[in-house]
Amino acid sequence: MAPHDERSRTDPGGPVRRSPIHIGHCISNLCRSSKPCWHNHVRSVEPSTTFAQMSLWHADVMDDRTAIIDLAIAYTWALDSRNIDGLDEVFTPDATGMLHGVACEGRDAIKERIGGAILRFDATQHLVGNHQVSVDGDEGTHRCQLQGQHVLAGTEGGNTFIVGGYYEDRVVRTADGWRIAHRLMQQTWTSGNPAVVRR
C-alpha cells in the first residue's frame, strides 16, 4: 500500500491539492499485519484538513469500492446469462487468469475458457459475497467467496453440482472504468454429482 494517497482533491475553499489523508499499514486488532493487507486505514490526517476534504475522500473510496464489487457481479451475470461477450466490459484486453487451474493469457483466452466450460450446461448460477476491496490510486485488489451451481438435466446420479471457492483479482482503472487485469479462481469444496461437470 502506498504511504500517501497521491490523487488530487478539490477543496471547496481553495485550489486543487493533494489529499491530506495518509494511508498506513494495517493496525487492525484482527490482523496486526505489518504489510499491506485488505484494509484501507487512515494513519494520520493533516491538521489543516477540512470536513469537506474528508467527505470527498470518503466518497471517492466508496465509489471505487462499489464499482469494483459491481465488476465482480457483472462477471457472474455474463456467465449465467450466457453473454460471454459481456466479459469485454469486465476484463482488460491483456488480462490474465488462472481459472480452476487453467492459465489464460489475454481476454479472448479467458472468454474461450469460460464459454467452453459454461455453455454446455442447461443452467448455471454463480453467487458471490464477502467482498474485500483495497484501492491504491488507479490500481486495486479484490477478493470474494463464490458458489457456482451447475445443472445438466438427465445426468445419471443427479442433475446438479455445486462448486465453492473464491476469486482473487487485480484491478485497474481505465478510461472505461475499473477492469480486472488478473483473476484467480480457486475451488475449495464441491457438493453434488461430479458427473455433471465431466466431459
Residues 9-30 pLDDT 10s: 334 444 333 444 444 444 344 4
Q: Helix-strand-coil percent breakdown of the chain, rounded to 5?
A: 25, 45, 30
* 36 is a domain residue: no
8 Å CB contact between 171 and 140: yes
- pLDDT recorded at residue 59: 59
* 21 is a domain residue: no
- pLDDT recorded at residue 189: 98
Burial 162-174 (b: 16+ CB within 10 A, else e): ebebebebbbebe
pLDDT at 92 over 50: yes
- pLDDT recorded at residue 16: 37
* 46 is a domain residue: no
Once rounded to an integer, what is the mean pLDDT over residues 155-172?
97
Percentage, residues of the chain above pLDDT 90: 65
Q: Of 3-7, 81-85, 108-112, where does mean pLDDT reach its minimum? A: 3-7
| Average pLDDT in the chain | 81
- pLDDT recorded at residue 1: 40
pLDDT at 101 over 80: yes
8 Å CB contact between 16 and 31: no
> Degrees (nearest 5) of the Cα angle 139, 9, 18?
80
- pLDDT recorded at residue 135: 92
* 163 is a domain residue: yes
Once rounded to an integer, what is the mean pLDDT over residues 49-63?
61
The secondary structure element, H or E, covering residue 105 is strand 102-105
Once rounded to an integer, what is the mean pLDDT over residues 107-125?
96
* 165 is a domain residue: yes
Domain containing residue 163? 54-197
* 149 is a domain residue: yes
CA distance 31 to 128: 24
Output the domain CATH number for residue 65: 3.10.450.50
Q: Of 35-39, 72-76, 81-85, 149-153, where does mean pLDDT reach its minimum? A: 35-39
Give burial (CB, 10 Å; 0-12/13-18/19+) of 78: buried
DSSP conformation class of 84:
G
* 4 is a domain residue: no
pLDDT at 4 over 50: no
* 23 is a domain residue: no
Domain count, the chain: 1
- pLDDT recorded at residue 49: 58
- pLDDT recorded at residue 62: 76
